[in-house]
Amino acid sequence: MRIRILLCSVLLAITPTLPADTIQGAVDKQPLNITAIALFFTFVLGTLGITKWASSRSRSRQDFYTAGGGIPAWQNGVAISGDFLSAATLLGFTGALYGFGFDALLLAIGVVCTWPIILFLISERLRNLGRFTFVDVLTYRLSSTGVRVISALGSLSVVVFYLIAQVVGAGKLVQLLFGLDYIYAVISVNVLMIIYVSIGGMLATTWVQFIKAVLLVTGGTIMVLLLLAAFDFSIDRILQSATETHHLGAKLLSPGNWITDPMAVISLALTSLFGFIGLPHILMRMFTVKDAGDARKSSFYAIGIMCYFYLLIILFGFGAIYLLLNSPEYFDSAGNLIGGQNMVALHVTHILGGDLLLGFMSAVAFATILAVVAGLALAGAATVSHDLYSSVIKKGRSNVEVELKITKVAVWVLGLTSILLAIAFEHQNVIFIATLSLAVAGSVNAPLLIAVMYWRGLTSRGAVWGGAIGLASSIVLIILGPNVWTAVLGNEQAIFPYQYPTVVSMPLAFIAIWFFSVTDKSAQAQTERDAYTEQLVRSETGIGIAEASNH
Amino acid sequence: MSTNQSAQDIFQNPRFQKLIKRRQRVSYLLSSSVLVIYLAYNLLAAYLPDTMTLKVGESHMTSGVLATLVIIVLMVIASSIYTFWANTRFDPQKDRILKEMGIYAESPGDEQ
């Protein structure tokens, strides 16, 4: 069985952006890695302890969804950066840099440039307008049920697709890292996710992400220091050795080795920008701090950590080329890298730090998946219970205790569904699922969020049509595109040429939002436009927002 | 206080207007600078790839790799400027204006 390998780290990714057709290598189950498993169990035990502690502090709905708004800004910032510094950042990014050089840097710039935009334009307004989910922000002045339904659908699609991609990726990664079977990995990831979220709520979920981020950044720093020492702390020598040993030579540092079509570069850039703005589990983290000022500081800390980590792994990725190409023991008899490109970072960790550091980083890589799926499950469950059950079905008249019960049931349902789907998709090429997730985030959630915050003219009708058209066009174009039409359905030529539909579906969503809003002459539309004034005052001042609880 | 009427009052207050205009100038200016850098980087990489492979001095550094590293640092600087400005200028000014209007911005209370 050959499984495309760079693929799986991509699926673990916040940046599921690597084209499938350039992926090589196979997942071979590795021998049991005892250090990694022992360290991973330590992490699990520690986080379960935290979950127990968190459960004693999660009583109300606020506590459960947003840790009562009592998370300190710096801690939230670390957790946000943790959501972005996933296994893919570590494994997929270094693998891509090792394989294709410069083009991998486009992925880094996508993350690094989107976050300042979120800081300047989104995070503070989001905190001032919402309570638990980003759907709250949309329905602050757009009162129709349709808006809640379409934005909840956008949110849920992102969460569910993302979750499946992560879990499938996790199963494959664990075969590589720990030598355990796919099925055990899938079940254990989901069971732990259910425990963290249903018992510990947002407080536990944030702590899990926080601890993992600290471990990842610490491990990354140690690795890069060891690597820099091997090159006498000279960046020039790292680049020189990389271009001299890599088969691409000097071309390693030029664009176009991987993403050859210029339009594909632009499409990727737009998908990163809008997709990252529309991720519900990240947006939800903004509600866990006490006010807009802390949401701003959270974003700022997150940016600092992410930028630091990207600088590290860019150096690491270029340095890895020389170290690895001069270590024949990591290649099989046919000259292929053992475990494929995904293993670049871990092989180099082994070269630099031996079995212990390898075990540590493998455990951190798996912990990363757990932390990310927990955040996803919480965001999905909150959407089901708060946005759909309580607001749409019960019209806001539901009992808070029943709503919380529904949340916990939703976590179980999400976990069990994702186990079943992960088993069903084990041998499928699931890159389209990861693509779909980011495309929907960029073509439904982000346009709606930007429009409601910055455009007085938006009405319910515009939001419903815009959201629906963004959703439908993303799905249709992905089916017609290379990830499904050729990779899954086996056709010769894709009808839509690009991986990501965002370059078309996102503008379509904005046009529909505009058109169906300006042509909306109803009385309700006028009320909604007038309500922009009040919304603006609140988004700037935070007057009347849900207050924080002290932890 | 969250009634429509008092929101209108705050909105129409010239000092509040001035405050949010100033804030929007800062956040729009910074956002558009980031967007310009982001788009320029991607457009150059896509359509003029040769601009990314210029040698920097005598070293093995190229313009593309250097630009990437510089952009990462620039983003940290831009975010620091904004956060510092909002923490030390915008927030106190906003609180002062609201206070003068007899409105208190939310404080981390212990409502449970």
**What confidence tens digit (pLDDT) does each residue in A376-389 have?**
999 999 999 888 98
- What pLDDT is stored for residue A525 in this prediction? 94
DSSP string, A62-97: HHHHHGGG---HHHHHHHHHHHHS-HIIIIIHHHHH
* B45 vs A contacts (CB less than 8 Å): 102, 106, 255, 265
Averaged pLDDT, A12-25: 36
pLDDT band at residue A29 under the 50/70/90 scheme:
low
Overall size of chain B counted in residues: 112
- What pLDDT is stored for residue A431 in this prediction? 75
- What pLDDT is stored for residue B77 in this prediction? 97
Averaged pLDDT, A59-64: 85
The residue with greater pLDDT, A88 or A330, is: A330
- What pLDDT is stored for residue A27 in this prediction? 57
B38/A113 touch (CB, cutoff 8 Å), yes or no: yes
pLDDT over 50 (residue A450):
yes
Q: Does A108 touch chain B (CB under 8 A)?
A: yes
What distances in angstroms separate CA A184 from CA A6, A16, A27, A78, A438, one per listed residue? 21, 24, 16, 30, 27
pLDDT over 60 (residue A13):
no
Lowest mean pLDDT among A21-30, A220-229, A312-321, A497-506: A21-30
State both tokens at A116.
């300042």
**pTM of the model as a whole:** 0.90
**What confidence tens digit (pLDDT) does each residue in A109-119 have?**
999 999 999 99
- What pLDDT is stored for residue A143 in this prediction? 81
- What pLDDT is stored for residue A315 in this prediction? 94
pLDDT over 50 (residue A20):
no
A543/B105 touch (CB, cutoff 8 Å), yes or no: yes
- What pLDDT is stored for residue B5 in this prediction? 55
* Cα dihedral across residues A220, A226, A227, A233: positive or negative: positive
* Three-state secondary structure string covering A196-265: HHHHHHHHHHHHHHHHHHHHHHHHHHHHHHHHHHHCCCCHHHHHHHHHHHCCCHHHHHCCCCCCCCHHHH
Taking the C-alpha atoms of residue A219 and residue A132, their distance in angstroms, rounded to an integer, is 33
pLDDT over 60 (residue A548):
no
- What pLDDT is stored for residue B105 in this prediction? 53
**What confidence tens digit (pLDDT) does each residue in A253-263 have?**
999 888 888 99
Averaged pLDDT, A301-309: 96
3-state class of B23 per DSSP? helix
- What pLDDT is stored for residue A365 in this prediction? 86
pLDDT over 50 (residue A222):
yes
3-state class of B37 per DSSP? helix
* B75 vs A contacts (CB less than 8 Å): 112-113, 115-116, 303, 307
pLDDT band at residue A375 under the 50/70/90 scheme:
very high
* A220 Cα distance to chain centroid: 19
Of A473, A465, A119, the closest CA to residue A282 belongs to A119
pLDDT band at residue A545 under the 50/70/90 scheme:
low
Across all residues in chain A, what is the average pLDDT?
A: 87
Q: What are phi and psi of B55, to 5 degrees?
A: -75, 140
pLDDT over 70 (residue A309):
yes
B98/A541 touch (CB, cutoff 8 Å), yes or no: yes
**What confidence tens digit (pLDDT) does each residue in A171-210 have?**
888 877 777 888 988 998 999 999 999 999 999 999 999 9
pLDDT over 50 (residue A10):
no
pLDDT band at residue A78 under the 50/70/90 scheme:
very high
Overall size of chain A counted in residues: 551
Of B95, B110, B88, B91, the closest CA to residue A69 belongs to B110
pLDDT over 60 (residue A333):
yes
pLDDT over 70 (residue A25):
no
Measured between CA atoms, how close is B45 to chain A, in angstroms?
Answer: 6
pLDDT over 80 (residue A336):
yes
Taking the C-alpha atoms of residue B16 and residue A441, their distance in angstroms, rounded to an integer, is 34
pLDDT band at residue A430 under the 50/70/90 scheme:
confident
Lowest mean pLDDT among A103-107, A193-197, A291-295, A367-371: A367-371
* B42 vs A contacts (CB less than 8 Å): 106, 109, 265-266, 269
Averaged pLDDT, A503-521: 96
pLDDT band at residue B3 under the 50/70/90 scheme:
very low
pLDDT over 50 (residue A4):
no
pLDDT band at residue A544 under the 50/70/90 scheme:
low
Lowest mean pLDDT among A32-41, A243-252, A262-271, A358-367: A32-41
- Reported for B47-50, long-range contacts at CB under 8 A and 24+ positions apart, including other chains, are B47/A262, B49/A254, B49/A255, B49/A256, B50/A254
* B76 vs A contacts (CB less than 8 Å): 303-304, 307
Element (H, E) at A273: helix A262-277
> Quick count: other Cβ atoms within 10 Å of Cβ A84?
26
Interface of A with B in 378-437 (CB under 8 A): none
Q: Does A38 touch chain B (CB under 8 A)?
A: no
A116/B62 touch (CB, cutoff 8 Å), yes or no: no
- What pLDDT is stored for residue A60 in this prediction? 85
